Amino acid sequence: MGNRKGRRPVAGFRGRARSSQRGRGGFEDNRTRQIQALREQARSVQLRLHDLNRRIRAVEHGVTPSNLKAFVNPDRCVACGTCEEMCPVCAIYIEEIARVDQKKCIGCGSCVAQCPRGAIVLTPLEGSS
């Protein structure tokens, strides 16, 4: 009799426990989604801040656009990332060596001036006058 009374709450508890575990799973899923969303927001703010700092540097350094484009000599580049940091328009990225997105490059020459290896030159884009 005492046992029977004892079993019922246990069964009820198990039922609640399963429900609670499901709820916990949902809570964890929600928490994970929230963390991911916040990390994405933080990344976005970070990128924006990075971009603003570059633009501040561009103004500070008084960079002037030209009709030239930057080209990297792959034999000289050591992928130090200095040019990537300096480029005010984020035209440079490192992929084994520095690479220049010619569509973004404004030919300001900041990267040329800062490269410790003399690996970048400014030249007219092929086909342009």
Give the interface with ligand SF4 as residue ranges (CB under 6 A).
Answer: 70, 72, 77-83, 86-87, 89, 91-92, 98, 100, 105-111, 115, 117, 119-120
Minimum Å gap between C-beta 24 and ligand SF4 is 49
Nearest to 68 by CA among 23, 14, 25, 111: 111
Q: Which is nearer to ligand SF4, 37 or 117 (CB)?
A: 117
Give the separation between CA 84 and CA 29, rounded to whole angstroms: 38
Minimum Å gap between C-beta 127 and ligand SF4 is 18
Q: Which is nearer to ligand SF4, 9 or 81 (CB)?
A: 81
Nearest to 71 by CA among 112, 108, 104, 116: 112
Q: Which is nearer to ligand SF4, 45 or 105 (CB)?
A: 105
Nearest to 92 by CA among 125, 62, 115, 65: 115
